[in-house]
């Protein structure tokens, strides 16, 4: 299914392990949208900073992200506890956020039909996006989801440690001065604690198509 001769940009925000990546990927696949995860960008930034330990972090990141091939990030293991911890730290640094903001805006400009997920997409990156979603999920369920994901690579990991890490990360995101995690006033709330994947995509699709028809008219056809 794809949008015919229409330009649609979708923004998805939410806390850690709320299902925003899953939802954004599924809706992108359904409507043939280009997908970008800002969280993956921050993880990559943390990864290369930990690996190279540059003296000037800002200039180093600006150079490394200038011609970055986003697709290649999927070939790197960016979901280690160390990277998770460091990505939360650098996400509070204004100049680093500005560098990655430029990358995300350029991505949207080069891919008119796109879906970007993160924590400040609706409020800072794509404030004029056609459809805005905000994902939420209770901490215990979010922690269990992340725990199952991480346990595939590390059998020694403990649920209580995952839950603690998520709580810390969410607190960092909500309380940081630069681009905190906020729900946009126009965002449609998606509570993944109450919806399975099928129901989640159904709700997202229903709202997307409603807004698309408002923008382009009732005769709009989605193929």
**pTM of this prediction?**
0.92
Q: Is the pLDDT confidence value at 223 over 60?
A: no
| Confidence grade of residue 4 (pLDDT, cut at 50, 70, 90) | low
Residue from 11, 36, 21, 40 nearest 142 by CA:
21
pLDDT at position 213, please?
86
* Cα–Cα dist 192/177, whole Å: 27
* Cα–Cα dist 96/172, whole Å: 16
Q: What is the pLDDT of residues 147-204, one digit of tens each?
A: 998 888 788 889 999 999 899 989 989 999 889 999 999 999 999 999 999 999 999 9
Q: Is the pLDDT confidence value at 219 over 70?
A: no
Residue from 197, 187, 211 nearest 14 by CA:
187
Q: What is the pLDDT of residues 126-135, one digit of tens each?
A: 999 999 999 9
End-to-end Cα separation, the chain, in angstroms: 5
pLDDT at position 156, please?
86
pLDDT at position 163, please?
94
Q: What is the pLDDT of residues 80-124, one digit of tens each?
A: 889 988 998 999 999 999 999 999 999 999 998 999 999 999 999
pLDDT at position 20, please?
96
pLDDT at position 208, please?
92
Name all domains of the chain by residue range, CATH numbers in brackets. 9-204 (3.40.50.300)
Contact 13, 184 (CB under 8 A): yes
Average pLDDT over residues 57-85: 92
Average pLDDT over residues 22-30: 96
* Cα–Cα dist 137/76, whole Å: 27
* Cα–Cα dist 133/137, whole Å: 13
Contact 179, 127 (CB under 8 A): no
Average pLDDT over residues 38-48: 96
Q: Is the pLDDT confidence value at 217 over 90?
A: no
pLDDT at position 126, please?
97
């Amino acid at each position: 299914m794809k949008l015919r001769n229409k330009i649609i940009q979708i923004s998805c925000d939410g806390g850690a392990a709320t299902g925003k990546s899953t939802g954004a990927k599924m809706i992108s696949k359904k409507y043939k949208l280009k997908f970008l995860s800002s969280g993956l960008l921050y993880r990559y930034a943390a990864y290369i900073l930990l690996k190279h330990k540059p003296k000037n972090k800002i200039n180093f990141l600006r150079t490394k992200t200038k011609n970055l091939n986003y697709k290649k990030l999927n070939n790197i293991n960016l979901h280690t506890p160390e990277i998770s911890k460091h990505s939360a730290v650098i996400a509070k640094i204004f100049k680093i956020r500005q560098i990655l903001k430029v990358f995300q805006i350029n991505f949207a400009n080069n891919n008119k039909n796109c879906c970007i997920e993160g924590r400040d997409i609706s409020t800072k990156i794509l404030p004029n996006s056609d459809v805005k979603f905000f994902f939420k999920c209770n901490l215990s369920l979010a922690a269990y989801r992340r725990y199952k994901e991480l346990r595939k690579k590390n059998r020694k990991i403990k649920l209580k440690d995952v839950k603690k890490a998520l709580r810390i990360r969410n607190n960092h995101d909500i309380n940081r001065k630069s681009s905190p995690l906020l729900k946009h006033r126009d965002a449609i709330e998606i509570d993944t604690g109450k919806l399975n994947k099928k129901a989640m995509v159904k709700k997202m699709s229903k709202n997307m198509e409603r807004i698309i028809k408002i923008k382009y008219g009732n005769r709009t056809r989605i193929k």
